[in-house]
C-alpha cells in the first residue's frame, strides 16, 4: 500500500515536472521565434528581394534612404538637388512604366530585349530613377545601382512614417504606432483608474453583502465578452457619439480606443483592486474610526494607502492585458498611422497594425519581419508593464 | 443630566439572534478606572464597544436600552458619531498602528479632526508621546515607520495616538494581553498616571491587573453583569457566588 502511494507520488511529480517544463520551453520558443523573425529585419534593406533601384551613371547621388526613395516616387521630391545631387528634374519609372514605353515588337518574345532597352533608356535620360527586378538588369549595364541603406533599429523606432507597401522601398517608422499604443493605453488608464477604483471601493467598503453578490457576477461577466463584441459596440455606439459630441469629421479616434480599452480592462481592475482593498485589516479601519475619522477619511487615508500597491498592480495588469487586445481597438481607432496630437485624432496601435497587415505581408519578406519587430516592441512594452507590477507589488510600507 | 461619565440603562445587545448582553445597568464616574472582568466570551468587549458605537460597524447588531456619555444619549438620532468617537478614545487588544511614521500615527487623530496648524500638531504629538511614556525611546526616530517598533512600544504608540485628541474617556480592551511582562508593567504604570486626567474603562482577563489598577470592577458572566462595586469590595467581599468562584480561580 505504502509502496503504491510512493509510486503514485513519483508519477504525479513526474507529470507536473514534465508539463511545467514543456510549458516553459514552449513560451521560450515563441519568444525566440519572435526575436529571430523580428531582428531579421535589421540586416536588410527596405527594398523587396531582387529589386534594384537604378539611376543614370552621371548622377552624383550615391545613396538614398528608403524614405527618400518613397518620397521621390510619391513626387514629394521632384528635383535631385533636394537629395544632394545636381539641379535636375527627377523622372520616376516603375517596371510597369518602363515596359509600357515600348511596343511588343521592340520587346521581343518573352521581353528578351527589355534589359537592353531599359539600359538604353536610363543612359539617355540623366534625371531618371527606375526600379525593376534584377533579372532585367543588363549584364554590362551602364547605369548606376543605388544601394539603399539597411534598416537601422534607430530608424525603425524613431521613424515617423509607416508605409509598408510603398514601392519600390517600404518605409518602416514605428514611432507613430508606438505613440498610438501609448496614447490609447494612457487614455485608458486615466479613464479606468478612477472608475475601477471607485467601483472596487464601493463593492469592498460600502455595498452590503446582498448588493455585492449581485455586482460581482456582473463584473465578471464583462470579462467574458469577446473583444469583437466590444469593438462592434464601440463602432456602432461610441464612434458616432464621439463624432457628434465633438463635431468631428470621423469618430474613429484615440479616445474611442481608450474608452473601449478602459471598459475591457475594468473587470480585471475591479476584481484585483477589490481584493487588495479587502486586505486592509479591519483593525486599522477601526483604529481610524475610533479616532473620530469619517468613513470617507478612513477610506482615503487608511484603506487606499494600505491597498495602494495592490490597486496600482490591478490597473497596470488590467491595462497591460488590454493593451495587447487587438480587435476592439482596431475597429474604433481609425487606423491612421500618424503621430497623434490630441485624443480626438485617429491613431493606430501596434497590435492593430499587426492584425491588419500580417495577412497581406508576404511570408518571410521585409514587411513580415517588420511586423515581427513591432511584436518585439509590444512585447517589451507589456514586459515593462509587468515589471512595474512586480516592483509595486513587492514594495510594502 | 447626571455627572456620571458613562451610564448604561437596561441594555440588551444582539448579534443577529445571539443575545450577547442581557439587561446591563452600569455607571462609571469621571477620573476613575473601571475594570471589566469575566471569562472570555462573556460580553466585556461587546459592552465596551457600545460606548464609542463601534458595534455600529458590525452587520446584524441590534440593541435596546440606553447609553449615556457625559449625560448625552449617544444613540440619539442626531448625534455626531465621529465627534463622539473623537471624545471617546479606544485602545485595542492587539497593537494596531497605521503603516505610517511614528509621528503621523499620533498626528492622525488631529488631522482627521481638521487641525491644520503645524506647530500645534507638533506640540500635541510630542505631549502625547511623552504622556504615553514612549518619548525617550522614539524621539530620534519620529519619521521612521511605526511598524519598526516592538509590540509593547506599538501599544504605547496606540495609547499616545488616542491621547493626542484629548478624549474625555478612554476605552481599553485588554491592552496588555498581547505583551510581555515588562511591557505590561509599563502600560499599567501608564494607566495609573493617566487616571488623574482621564476616565478609563479597561477590559482585562488578568485579575491581578484589575486589582492593581482599577477603582471599580465589574464582573460579567455569560452576557450578564453579575455585580460591580469598588474593586476592593469585589475582591474581598463579593456578594454573588459566581463572582466569588471566579476571583478565587474556581472557574474561567
Ligand atoms: N461580531 C460578532 N458576531 C457574532 N457574535 C459575536 C460577535 N462579537 C462577539 N460575539 C459573541 O458575543 C459574545 C461576547 O463576545 P465578547 O464581547 O467579545 O466577549 P469578551 O470580550 O468578554 O471575551 C461571545 O459569545 C461572542 O462569540
Ligand atoms: Mg474581548
Q: How far is the CA of B48 from the centre of ligand 2 (A)?
A: 9
Q: Chain B: nearest CA to A317, how far in angstroms?
A: 25
Q: Is the pLDDT of residue A279 over 50?
A: yes
Q: Whose CA is nearest to atom 8 of ligand 1?
A: B46
Q: Are strands A171-172 and B88-91 parallel, antiparallel or unpaired?
A: unpaired
Q: CA A135, CA B221: separation in Å to the nearest integer?
A: 104
Residue in A with minimal Cα distance to B100: A397
Whether A156 maps to a domain, the answer reads no
β-bridge partners, B64: B12
**What is the pLDDT, as a whole number, of residue A371?**
93
Which-ligand-closest: CA of B43?
1
Q: CA B48, CA B27: separation in Å to the nearest integer?
A: 12
Whether A16 maps to a domain, the answer reads no
Q: Closest by alpha carbon to B50, among B6, B109, B94?
A: B6
B-facing residues of A in 185-224 (CB < 8 A) are 208-209
**What is the pLDDT, as a whole number, of residue A231?**
87
**What is the pLDDT, as a whole number, of residue B251?**
59
**What is the pLDDT, as a whole number, of residue A103?**
84
Whether A340 maps to a domain, the answer reads yes
- The mean pLDDT of A265-281, rounded to a whole number, is 91
Q: Is the pLDDT of residue A293 over 60?
A: yes
**What is the pLDDT, as a whole number, of residue B3?**
67
Whether A2 maps to a domain, the answer reads no
What H or E segment, with its residue span, contains residue B230? strand B224-230
Tell me the per-residue pLDDT of B62-75, one tens digit each, with 9 for 90 and over: 999 999 999 999 99
**Chain B contact for A26, CB < 8 A?**
no
- Sign of the CA dihedral A214, A215, A217, A222? positive
Whether A367 maps to a domain, the answer reads yes
Whether the Cβ atoms of residue A196 and residue A266 lie closer than 8 Å to each other:
yes
Shared domain check, A181 and A109? no
Among residues A119, A135, A151, which one ends one of the domains?
Answer: A151
Q: How far is the CA of A305 from the centre of ligand 1 (A)?
A: 30
Shared domain check, A241 and A109? no
CATH code of the domain in which A383 resides = 1.10.3720.10
Asked whether the beta carbons of residue A290 and residue B90 sit closer than 8 angstroms, the reply is yes
Residue in B with minimal Cα distance to A304: B99
- Cβ contacts (< 8 Å) between B85 and chain A: which residues? 289-292
Asked whether the beta carbons of residue B109 and residue A292 sit closer than 8 angstroms, the reply is yes
Q: Is the pLDDT of residue B1 over 50?
A: no
The predicted model scores a pTM of: 0.74
Which-ligand-closest: CA of B20?
1
B-facing residues of A in 280-299 (CB < 8 A) are 281, 283-284, 286-294, 297
Whether A15 maps to a domain, the answer reads no
Q: How far is the CA of B66 from the centre of ligand 1 (A)?
A: 20
Q: Which has the minimum average pLDDT: A203-212, B123-132, B194-203?
A: A203-212
Q: Chain A: nearest CA to B84, how far in angstroms?
A: 7
Tell me the per-residue pLDDT of A350-394, one tens digit each, with 9 for 90 and over: 888 888 888 888 888 889 999 999 999 988 988 887 888 788 777
Shared domain check, A374 and A251? yes
CB-nearest to A283 from B59, B87, B92 is B92
Q: Chain A: nearest CA to B4, how far in angstroms?
A: 22
- The mean pLDDT of B118-134, rounded to a whole number, is 94
**Chain B contact for A265, CB < 8 A?**
no
Among residues A96, A116, A151, which one ends one of the domains?
Answer: A151
CB-nearest to A290 from B54, B98, B111 is B54
Shared domain check, A79 and A211? no
Shared domain check, A198 and A107? no
Tell me the per-residue pLDDT of B219-235, one tens digit each, with 9 for 90 and over: 999 999 999 999 999 99
Shared domain check, A206 and A129? no
Residue in A with minimal Cα distance to B59: A208
Q: Is the pLDDT of residue B252 over 70?
A: no
Tell me the per-residue pLDDT of B166-176, one tens digit each, with 9 for 90 and over: 999 999 999 98
3-state secondary structure of A56: coil
Which-ligand-closest: CA of B38?
1
Asked whether the beta carbons of residue B161 and residue A284 sit closer than 8 angstroms, the reply is no
Q: CA A323, CA A385: separation in Å to the nearest integer?
A: 10
Confidence of residue A395 (pLDDT cuts 50, 70, 90): low
Q: Whose CA is nearest to atom 6 of ligand 1?
A: B15
Shared domain check, A181 and A131? no
Interface-testing mutation among B69, B84, B95, B99, with chain A (most A C-beta atoms within 10 A): B99
Confidence of residue B117 (pLDDT cuts 50, 70, 90): very high
Tell me the per-residue pLDDT of A193-217, one tens digit each, with 9 for 90 and over: 899 999 999 998 888 788 888 988 8
Among residues A118, A151, A184, which one ends one of the domains?
Answer: A151
DSSP secondary structure of B105-150: HHHHHHHHTT---HHHHHHHHHHHHHHTT-HHHHTT-TTSBGGGS-
Q: Which has the minimum average pLDDT: A56-60, A272-276, B161-165?
A: A56-60
In this structure, what are the phi and psi dihedrals at residue B145, rounded to the nearest 5 degrees? -65, 140
- The mean pLDDT of A269-289, rounded to a whole number, is 93
CB-nearest to B92 from A287, A293, A294 is A287
Whether A231 maps to a domain, the answer reads yes
- Cβ contacts (< 8 Å) between A296 and chain B: which residues? none
Residue in A with minimal Cα distance to B166: A291
Shared domain check, A268 and A144? no
Q: Chain B: nearest CA to A244, how far in angstroms?
A: 45
CB-nearest to A291 from B94, B99, B161 is B161
Q: Chain B: nearest CA to A289, how far in angstroms?
A: 7
DSSP secondary structure of A306-362: HHHHHHHHHHHHHHHHHHT--HHHHHHSB---S--SSTTS-B--HHHHHHHHGGGSP
B-facing residues of A in 297-316 (CB < 8 A) are 297, 301-302, 305-306
Q: How far is the CA of A286 from the centre of ligand 1 (A)?
A: 16
Shared domain check, A297 and A256? yes
- The mean pLDDT of B11-32, rounded to a whole number, is 95
Determine the angle formed by the axes of helices A254-278 and A175-201, rounding to 10 degrees.
Answer: 40
Domain span including residue A77: 51-151
Q: Is the pLDDT of residue A396 over 60?
A: no
Shared domain check, A185 and A332? yes
Q: Is the pLDDT of residue B200 over 50?
A: yes
Shared domain check, A219 and A146? no
Q: How far is the CA of B14 from the centre of ligand 2 (A)?
A: 16
- Cβ contacts (< 8 Å) between A300 and chain B: which residues? none
Q: Is the pLDDT of residue A99 over 90?
A: no
In chain A, the number of structural domains is 2
Shared domain check, A66 and A197? no
3-state secondary structure of B221: strand
SS (H, E, C) A217-275: HHHHHHCCCCHHHHHHHHHHHHHHHHHHHCCCCCCCCHHHHHHHHHHHHHHHHHHHHHH
Q: How far is the CA of A274 from the centre of ligand 2 (A)?
A: 29
Q: Is B158 left (phi over 0), alpha (psi -120 to 50) or beta?
A: alpha
B-facing residues of A in 141-170 (CB < 8 A) are none
Q: Whose CA is nearest to atom 1 of ligand 1?
A: B58
Whether A11 maps to a domain, the answer reads no
Tell me the per-residue pLDDT of A164-194, one tens digit each, with 9 for 90 and over: 888 788 889 999 999 988 888 889 889 998 9
**What is the pLDDT, as a whole number, of residue B154?**
95
Which letter does DSSP use for residue B179 in this model?
S
CB within 6 Å of ligand 1 — which residues?
B 15, 18, 20, 38, 40-46, 58
Average per-residue pLDDT in chain A?
Answer: 87
Q: Are strands B61-69 and B72-73 parallel, antiparallel or unpaired?
A: antiparallel
Q: Which has the minimum average pLDDT: A112-126, B14-28, B40-54?
A: A112-126
Atom of ligand 1 minimally distant from the CA of B223: 14
Tell me the per-residue pLDDT of B69-94, one tens digit each, with 9 for 90 and over: 999 999 999 999 999 999 999 999 99
Respond yes or no on whether the N-terminal peptide bond of residue A168 is cis (omega within 30° of 0).
yes
Average per-residue pLDDT in chain B?
Answer: 92
Asked whether the beta carbons of residue B96 and residue A286 sit closer than 8 angstroms, the reply is yes
Atom of ligand 1 minimally distant from the CA of B220: 22
Grid cell for residue A68: 527618400
Amino acid at each position: 500500500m505504502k509502496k503504491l502511494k510512493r509510486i503514485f507520488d513519483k508519477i504525479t511529480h513526474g507529470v507536473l515536472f514534465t508539463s511545467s517544463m514543456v510549458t516553459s520551453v514552449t513560451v521560450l520558443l515563441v519568444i525566440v521565434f519572435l526575436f529571430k523573425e523580428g531582428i531579421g529585419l535589421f540586416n536588410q534593406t527596405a527594398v523587396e528581394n531582387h529589386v534594384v533601384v537604378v539611376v543614370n551613371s552621371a548622377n552624383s547621388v550615391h545613396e538614398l534612404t528608403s524614405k527618400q526613395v518613397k518620397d521621390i516616387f510619391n513626387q514629394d521630391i521632384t528635383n535631385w538637388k533636394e537629395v544632394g545631387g545636381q539641379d535636375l528634374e527627377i523622372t520616376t519609372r516603375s517596371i510597369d512604366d518602363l515596359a509600357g514605353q515600348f511596343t511588343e515588337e521592340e520587346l521581343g518574345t518573352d521581353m528578351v530585349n527589355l534589359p537592353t532597352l531599359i539600359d538604353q533608356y536610363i543612359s539617355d535620360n540623366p534625371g531618371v530613377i527606375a526600379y525593376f527586378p534584377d533579372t532585367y538588369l543588363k549584364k554590362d549595364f551602364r547605369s548606376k545601382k543605388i544601394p539603399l541603406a539597411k534598416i537601422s533599429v534607430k530608424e525603425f523606432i524613431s521613424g515617423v512614417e509607416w508605409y509598408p507597401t510603398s514601392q519600390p522601398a517600404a518605409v518602416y517608422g514605428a514611432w507613430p504606432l508606438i505613440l498610438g499604443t501609448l496614447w490609447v493605453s494612457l487614455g485608458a488608464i486615466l479613464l479606468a483608474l478612477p472608475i475601477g477604483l471607485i467601483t472596487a471601493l464601493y463593492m469592498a467598503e460600502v455595498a452590503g453583502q446582498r448588493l455585492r453578490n449581485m455586482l460581482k457576477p456582473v463584473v465578471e461577466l464583462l470579462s467574458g465578452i469577446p473583444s469583437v463584441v466590444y469593438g462592434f459596440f464601440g463602432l456602432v455606439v461610441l464612434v458616432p457619439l464621439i463624432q457628434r459630441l465633438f463635431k468631428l469629421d470621423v469618430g474613429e479616434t484615440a479616445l474611442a480606443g481608450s474608452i473601449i480599452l478602459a471598459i475591457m480592462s475594468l473587470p480585471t481592475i475591479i476584481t484585483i483592486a477589490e481584493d487588495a482593498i479587502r486586505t486592509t485589516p479591519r483593525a486599522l479601519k477601526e483604529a481610524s474610526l475610533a479616532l473620530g475619522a469619517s468613513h470617507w477619511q478612513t477610506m482615503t487615508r487608511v484603506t487606499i494607502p494600505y491597498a495602494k500597491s495592490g490597486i496600482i498592480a490591478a490597473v497596470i495588469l488590467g491595462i497591460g492585458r488590454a493593451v495587447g487586445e487587438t480587435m476592439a481597438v482596431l475597429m474604433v481607432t481609425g487606423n491612421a498611422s500618424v503621430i497623434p496630437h490630441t485624443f480626438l485624432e485617429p491613431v493606430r496601435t501596434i497590435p492593430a497594425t499587426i492584425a491588419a497587415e500580417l495577412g497581406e505581408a508576404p511570408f518571410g519578406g521585409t514587411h513580415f519581419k517588420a511586423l515581427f519587430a513591432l511584436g518585439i516592441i509590444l512585447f517589451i512594452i507589456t514586459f515593462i508593464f509587468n515589471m512595474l507590477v512586480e516592483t509595486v507589488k513587492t514594495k510594502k510600507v | 443630566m447626571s455627572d456620571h461619565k458613562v451610564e448604561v440603562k437596561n441594555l440588551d445587545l444582539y448579534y443577529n439572534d445571539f443575545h450577547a448582553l442581557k439587561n446591563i445597568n452600569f455607571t462609571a464616574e469621571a477620573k476613575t478606572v473601571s475594570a471589566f472582568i469575566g471569562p472570555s466570551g462573556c460580553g466585556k468587549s461587546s459592552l465596551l464597544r457600545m460606548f464609542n458605537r463601534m458595534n455600529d460597524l458590525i452587520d446584524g447588531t441590534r440593541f435596546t436600552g440606553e447609553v449615556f456619555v457625559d449625560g448625552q444619549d449617544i444613540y440619539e438620532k442626531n448625534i455626531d458619531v465621529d465627534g463622539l468617537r473623537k471624545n471617546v478614545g479606544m485602545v485595542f487588544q492587539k497593537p494596531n498602528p497605521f503603516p505610517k511614521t511614528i509621528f503621523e500615527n499620533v498626528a492622525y487623530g488631529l488631522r482627521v479632526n481638521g487641525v491644520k496648524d503645524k506647530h500645534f500638531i507638533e506640540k500635541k504629538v510630542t505631549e502625547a508621546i511623552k504622556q504615553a511614556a514612549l518619548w525617550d525611546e522614539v524621539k530620534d526616530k519620529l519619521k521612521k515607520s511605526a511598524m519598526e517598533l516592538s509590540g509593547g512600544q506599538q501599544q504605547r504608540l496606540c495609547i499616545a495616538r488616542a491621547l493626542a485628541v484629548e478624549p474625555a474617556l478612554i476605552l481599553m480592551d485588554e491592552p496588555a494581553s498581547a505583551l510581555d511582562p515588562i511591557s505590561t508593567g509599563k502600560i499599567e504604570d501608564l494607566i495609573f498616571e493617566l487616571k488623574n486626567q482621564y476616565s478609563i474603562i479597561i477590559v482585562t482577563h488578568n485579575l491581578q491587573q484589575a486589582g492593581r489598577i482599577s477603582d471599580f470592577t465589574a464582573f460579567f458572566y455569560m452576557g450578564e453583569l453579575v455585580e460591580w462595586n469598588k474593586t476592593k469590595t469585589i475582591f474581598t467581599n463579593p456578594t454573588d457566588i459566581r463572582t466569588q468562584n471566579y476571583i478565587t480561580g474556581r472557574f474561567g
